[in-house]
A and B are shown apart, each in its own frame.
Chain A
Amino acid sequence: GAGVSQSPSNKVTEKGKDVELRCDPISGHTALYWYRQRLGQGLEFLIYFQGNSAPDKSGLPSDRFSAERTGESVSTLTIQRTQQEDSAVYLCASSLFLGVGGRSYEQYFGPGTRLTVT
């Protein structure tokens, strides 16, 4: 597609429920990233996928958070047993990738999903 797309754009859920957020990267971008942005703060890295390599999950805040990606396409971020502190905008980004140690590529962001846990 023309850009990174995310769905839903807004999600309100009750504390304790599970939520699933979706990201569609730019076609041809092999790297995909999830970030979280709490109100008034910068972006926090959550997880990074590159092709068929094992994902870098070092930013996931707890075992309630998980993410999957099928090949080089869609990714889903799942938050189980949501808590109020999970309320944030969840942003997905994608980029080209030319191997670890290769040149750096800029990341392009989707519009985000605003998650509100009541």
Chain B
Amino acid sequence: EDKVVQSPLSLVVHEGDTVTLNCSYEVTNFRSLLWYKQEKKAPTFLFMLTSSGIEKKSGRLSSILDKKELSSILNITATQTGDSAIYLCAVGAGGTSYGKLTFGQGTILTVHP
């Protein structure tokens, strides 16, 4: 059974701090790893990492995929209160699992002013 584990489960920081969120996976026939930000109900897409794109950056956010270690990190620099949210990691596989994402339990990030 495909499995995704995120750590830490929760994190409290102050504005301006840098945070690193972790995601590890055990998936048969890995195809992609995705990061989402969830503030209320709808997860908002951040990044997708694949074998052909193992590093992505957008503003203060960046993410790296380590296929050897079966893991990924999401970095947020100079955090702001608006970064407070649940960050979800999900993995897409091929074969009979094609199409569906397996999600981790999420990391709750709280940024204090």
A-facing residues in B53-75 (Cβ within 8 Å) = none
Max chain A C-beta neighbours (<10 A), residue from B31, B99, B105: B99
From A33, A42, A101, A109, B42 is in contact (CB under 8 Å) with A109
Kindly list chain B residues whose C-beta atoms are within 8 Å of the C-beta of A21: none
- With A104-B48, A106-B34, A106-B48 in contact, is A45–B101 under 8 Å at CB? yes
- With A42-B103, A104-B50 in contact, is A112–B41 under 8 Å at CB? yes
A12 touches B (CB below 8 Å): no
> How many B residues are at the interface, by size bracket?
20 to 34
Say whether B41 contacts A42, CB under 8 Å: no
Say whether A43 contacts B101, CB under 8 Å: yes
A2 touches B (CB below 8 Å): no
> How many A residues are at the interface, by size bracket?
20 to 34
B14 touches A (CB below 8 Å): no
**How near does chain A come to B4, taking the closest CB pair, in angstroms?**
8
- With A101-B94, A104-B48 in contact, is A91–B41 under 8 Å at CB? yes
B-facing residues in A83-118 (Cβ within 8 Å) = 89, 91, 97, 100-101, 103-104, 106-112, 114
A65 touches B (CB below 8 Å): no
From B4, B40, B98, B100, A59 is in contact (CB under 8 Å) with B100
Contact with A along B21-61 (1 / 0, CB 8 A): 00000000001101010001111110010100000000000
Say whether B92 contacts A104, CB under 8 Å: yes
Max chain B C-beta neighbours (<10 A), residue from A41, A45, A106: A106
B76 touches A (CB below 8 Å): no
Cα distance, A114 to B40, chains bound together (Å): 11
Kindly list chain A residues whose C-beta atoms are within 8 Å of the C-beta of B99: 31, 33, 48, 50, 56, 97
**A residues neighboring B (CB under 8 Å):** 4, 31, 33, 35, 41-45, 48, 50, 56, 58-59, 89, 91, 97, 100-101, 103-104, 106-112, 114
**B residues neighboring A (CB under 8 Å):** 4, 31-32, 34, 36, 40-45, 48, 50, 88, 90, 92, 94, 96, 98-106
